[in-house]
A and B are shown apart, each in its own frame.
Chain A
Amino acid sequence: MRVDDERAAEMLLAVARAVLDRVDDLTDADLAIGDGDHGIGMRRGFEAVELVLENPPSGIDGVFKAAGMAIMSNTGGAAGAVFGSVFTSGAAAFAAQEEITPEGFVEFLTAAQGAVQRRGGVAEGAKTMLDALAPAARAAAGASDLKTATAAAAEAALQGVEATKAMIATTGKARSLGERSVGHPDPGAISMSIILGAMRDYVAG
C-alpha cells in the first residue's frame, strides 16, 4: 500500500483505535509495576489524536506532528512526554515526503528513539518503551518495502516487550520495585508494540 498524507492520517487513526482497544490491558500491566495510570493516560492522548485527525493537516509530517502534539498535551505523565515526542520528533523524517517509504519509516523510528533517549535520559535495558522501540528501528532497517519494514518493526517490538519481563526497572515509578519488577512486562513497551502492530496491520491492508 502506498501511504500518502491522507492514508497516514488513516493509519494513525487505526493506531489510536488499537491503543484505545487495549486500555484495560495497559492499566493492568501498569498496576503490576507502576501506579496504574498508563492506560487512562493513553486513552486521553489517543482520544485526542482521533479528534485532531478528524480534520488532518497537510503533509505526512504535519499529520504526525499534530498527532504528537495531541498526545503531548492530553496524556500527561511520563507517557505524554515520551509518546508525544515519538510523533513530534519522528515527524521530521517525513518532511517534504509524498509517501512513507521504508527508509522514511526507519528514519522515523530512529529519530523517535533519539528523542526519547534524550528526553528521558535513559538507555536500552532500563525496562522502558525504548526496549520495544530501539529493536524495532534496528529490525526495520534495510527492508525493501513498507510492508516488510512495518512487519519487522512490529515483530521486534513484541519481542522487546517479552524481553522487558526479565529486566529490572531502573527509571520511572517502577524503579523502586527493583528486582520485584522482574517477570512483568513494561507497560510503555506494550504501548509501543501496539502502535507498531497497528501500523503493520494498516499497511498490510
Chain B
Amino acid sequence: MAKPIKKILNDPRRAVDEMLDGLVLASDGRTKRLAVDAIVKSEIPDGKVALLIGGGSGHEPLFHGFIGENMGDGAACGQFFAAPSPHIVYEAAKAVHRGKGILFLYGNYAGDNMNFDIGAEMLADEGVEVRTVRVTDDVAAAPPERMHDRRGIAGDLLMIRVVGAAAAHLDRLDEVERVAKKAMAGLRSMGVAVLAGSIPETGKLTFDLADDEIEIGMGAHGEAGISRQKLGTADEITDQMMEKILADLPFQAGDEVALLINNLGATTMMEMLVVNRRVRQILAERGITVHRSDVGTWVTSQEMAGLSISLMRLDGELKRYLDMPSRSVGYSSLEVK
C-alpha cells in the first residue's frame, strides 16, 4: 500500500514557478529571472563567451542553482523533469549573449536535445553562433560504443564548473567548446538508488523498489540501471560501482582526478562519507590521485535516496579551471592556490 507523499508546497502546479522566485531571491541580487522560466546572471560583461545551461526542474540545485561566478551565465528551466521549451531556450540565450557566441551545456536526454536544438536553430536564423556539448557521464546507461546514448547525471556539476571558468577566461567560443569536450571525454559517473522520489504534481513515486532492494546504475529520473539486488554493505556497493567507473575510461595509475560524491536527495551525510572513505581506498590502491573532492547534495531527484560517484580525469588546464572560485546559490568554493 502506497504511503501518502508529504511535501511542503503550495499548489504543486505552481511549485516550479515559486521555486524559481525563491532561487533568485536567495542569490542576493546576483541573478535575475526573465519573463519566461529562465534565470540569468545580473551582470555579464560585454564580449564574454556565454554559457547557457538548463534542463528539467526537480533536480535542484542543478541547473538553475548554478548561475554565478565561473559557472553558468543563464539557465533555461523546464517544468518538473521535463526539458525547457525552445521558446525558453531562445529567450535565455538572447539574454546571456554578448556577441561572442553561446555554448549550450546540458544533460543528454531526448527532450533536452530536441528543445535545445530547436532553440539553437531559432538563434542561428538570427546569426547567433551556438555550439552544443551534452553531458553523457552515466556509464550505466549504455556501453562505451554508444556514448551518445548515455545520459547526463551528477557529472553536470563538474562540467558546469570547468566550462564555466573556461567561458569566463577564454576569448573564443571554439576554445570554450574544446575545453568542454576534453573535460567530457574524461568524465564518468554511476549512481545507486535506495528509495524512490516522488513527482509533486502526481503525488506518485518515480519507481518501485522493494524494502530490501537497491538498484545500481539507476538514472536520476528512476530510469532502470544495470542491477537490482539486495541491499549490501557500503563497501560492497562502492566496490561494484567503482569497478564499472574505473574500467570504463579506463582510469589508470598516475591519473589525477576530480572526485564528486553526490547525494540524490535523501541520503545522509554519514552514508556519503562512509562511501567516500571506501572510494579513496580504492583510488589509492590503483595509484590514482584525487586533486579535488566534493561530497554533497547538488544533483537531486526530489526525496530519492541514493548517491552517485563521478570521476573526471584532469590535466593542467582542467585543474586550473576547476581550482577557480565558484559562487552560486547551489555551489560555492574558494580558490585553490
Residues on A lying within 8 angstroms of B by beta carbon are: 27, 31, 34-37, 39-41, 44, 72-82, 119-120, 171-178, 180
Are the CB atoms of A120 and B114 closer together than 8 Å? yes
Q: List 30 A-B contacts (CB under 8 A).
A: A27-B204, A35-B81, A35-B222, A36-B206, A36-B222, A37-B79, A37-B80, A40-B201, A40-B202, A72-B85, A73-B85, A76-B78, A77-B111, A77-B115, A79-B111, A80-B83, A80-B115, A81-B83, A81-B111, A81-B115, A119-B117, A120-B114, A173-B109, A173-B110, A175-B223, A176-B141, A176-B142, A176-B223, A177-B223, A177-B224
Q: What is the CB-to-nearest-CB distance from A65 to chain B, in angstroms, rounded to a whole number?
A: 14
With A120-B114, A175-B149 as given contacts, are A77 and B56 in contact (CB-CB < 8 Å)? yes
Most chain A Cβ neighbours within 10 Å, of B83, B110, B201: B110
With A74-B85, A77-B82 as given contacts, are A35 and B206 in contact (CB-CB < 8 Å)? yes
Interface residues of B in 126-183 (CB under 8 A from A): 140-142, 149, 151
Q: Give the complex CA separation of A161 and B97 in angstroms.
A: 43
Q: Give the complex CA separation of A31 and B117 in angstroms.
A: 26
Are the CB atoms of B202 and A36 closer together than 8 Å? yes
Tell me whether B86 is interfacial, beta carbon within 8 Å.
yes
Q: Hey, which chain A residues are within 8 Å of B204, CB to CB?
A: 27, 31, 36
Q: Give the complex CA separation of A100 and B228 in angstroms.
A: 52
Query: Considering only CB atoms, which chain B residue lies closest to A44 in the complex?
Result: B79
Q: Give the complex CA separation of A79 and B221 in angstroms.
A: 16
Query: Considering only CB atoms, which chain B residue lies closest to A77 in the complex?
Result: B82
**Which range contains the number of B residues in contact with the other chain?**
20 to 34
Q: Give the complex CA separation of A131 and B82 in angstroms.
A: 22
Q: Give the complex CA separation of A78 and B83 in angstroms.
A: 7
Tell me whether B118 is interfacial, beta carbon within 8 Å.
yes
Q: Hey, which chain A residues are within 8 Å of B225, CB to CB?
A: 176
